[in-house]
Amino acid sequence: FADRAGPEHPPGFYGTAEGGIAVNALAPGDRLQPLDLTGLKGARTGSLAGAETLDLRALLFTLALALLALDTLAGLWLGGFFRKFGRVSHGKAAPAALLLPALLGLALVFAPPPARAQESPANRPNGIESALATRLAFVVTGDAATDTASRAGLSGLSQMLAARTALEPGEPAGLNPEKDELAFYPLIYWPIVAGRPQPSEAAIRKIDAFMRNGGTVIFDTRDAQTARPGGPPSPEAAYLRKMLATLEVPELEPVPADHVLTKAFYLVDSFPGRFGTGQTWVETIPPAGEGGERRPARAGDGVTPLIITGNDLAAAWAVGRNGEPLYPVTGGDQRQREMAFRGGINIVIYTLTGNYKADQVHVPALLERLGQ
């Protein structure tokens, strides 16, 4: 297909993952020109503005207190308290007794909100804050767009975890692996940006110690749309290979169908993100038992120290202030974003519980053996 994109062939990728064809909206020689508005008299232009949230909490709380004060005054009035007070004071202090509560109520309504000390940024929590709440973390790459997507993605996944599971994570934390303590975080998301400098030797050593002591790192090359099976590695994949060359990385394999990661919370068979064609790799687990015995789940005795994917997970999880998705997902599956959230929930539950789920899915087999 060599023609320009049109209504019958909209821009996009056509064909299979191995031999896809890109149909672009613009031809190679096309050039974008500014919109000519000279023929439109009185036309006004402006930039798009995002939705703004107006914080009314202080005003509403103050109004509620004022209404409570008025309700109390009405109760005292109906109970005859002010009449008794007026008789005791021979009627001289009654007007002042009525005026004073009214002035106090007006002062509460129009009082400015109390000044608050500047809160510490959520991306660099101190040790106490990190220890008091379970947080998902991401590596700050220095690329503004990537770091924004990572924060929004982990925030969206944290909200989904709080809504669907018993886990209520804190705000995501942005980490500098060379300077920050990593032991507080069970899972670290590391998006690969090929144009950034390689991490320092100290950062690599800390990541190595983190993975050796039970932590899990998701390395996301985000190249599922550009990588081709059997072809040369993408710049992101080459960057990751160079970064991990000095580490003792275990042997990896695509996530097996019976891996505990596929059933830690939801039953899933893939881990899509913004893209759905990339492969997800984990540490190789021992083969199934001899004699062809099938087990409901394997790899329960140890959590894989690293997960490698190219599906751009954070972009699929990313949501705005009002819960709206920030990035589109590619592919024909309308439930891809939902499946991305389910896969993310499975990953978090898996890193937190380890072999718990593997033991649970083996319960029927264990009970059957006990009955024998």
Share of the chain above pLDDT 90, in %: 43
Whether the predicted pLDDT of 103 surpasses 60: no
Return phi, psi of residue 165, to 5°.
-130, 180
Q: pLDDT-based confidence at 122, cuts 50/70/90?
A: very low
pLDDT at res. 63: 92
For position 120, what pLDDT does the model report? 42
Cα maximum dimension of the chain: 102
Residue bearing the bigger pLDDT, 175 or 73: 175
**Domain positions in the chain:** 59-110, 127-370
Q: Which of 98-107, 150-159, 251-260, 264-273 has the lowest mean pLDDT?
A: 98-107
Mean pLDDT on 197-216: 92
Instruction: Say whether pLDDT at 257 is over 50.
Output: yes
3-state helix, strand, coil in the chain (%, to 5): 40, 10, 55
Residues 236-245 have a mean pLDDT of: 93
Residue pLDDT, tens place only, 214-230? 899 999 999 998 887 77
Classify residue 207 as exposed, middle or buried by CB count within 10 Å of its CB (0-12, 13-18, 19+): buried
Task: Write out pLDDT tens, residues 312-324.
Answer: 999 999 999 888 9
- Residue 74, pLDDT > 50, answer yes
Neighbours of 26 (CB within 10 A): 11
Q: What percent of the chain has pLDDT over 70?
A: 76
| Three state DSSP letters for 234-286 | CHHHHHHHHHHCCCCCCCEEECCCCEHHHCCCCCCCCCCCCCCCCCCEEECCC
State how far the alpha carbon of 142 is from the alpha carbons of 1, 175, 192, 307, in Å.
39, 11, 11, 22
The model's pTM is 0.64
pLDDT of residue 365: 64
For residue 119, the model assigns a pLDDT of: 40
Q: Judge: domain 127-370, CATH 3.20.20.60.
A: no
Model confidence at 288: pLDDT above 50: yes
Q: Which residues pair with 12 in a beta bridge?
A: 23
State residue 8's pLDDT score. 82
pLDDT value at residue 240:
94
How far is the C-alpha of 139 from the C-alpha of 204, rounded, in Å? Answer: 12
Taking the C-alpha atoms of residue 326 and residue 350, their distance in angstroms, rounded to an integer, is 26
Mean per-residue pLDDT over the chain, rounded: 81
71: Cβ–Cβ under 8 A, 6 or more apart, which residues? Answer: none
pLDDT of 107 higher than 60: no
Query: What single-letter DSSP state applies at residue 200?
Result: P
* Residue (of 302, 296, 303) closest to 360 by Cα position: 296
For residue 101, what pLDDT is reported? 56
Q: How far is CA 183 from the centre of its chain?
A: 20
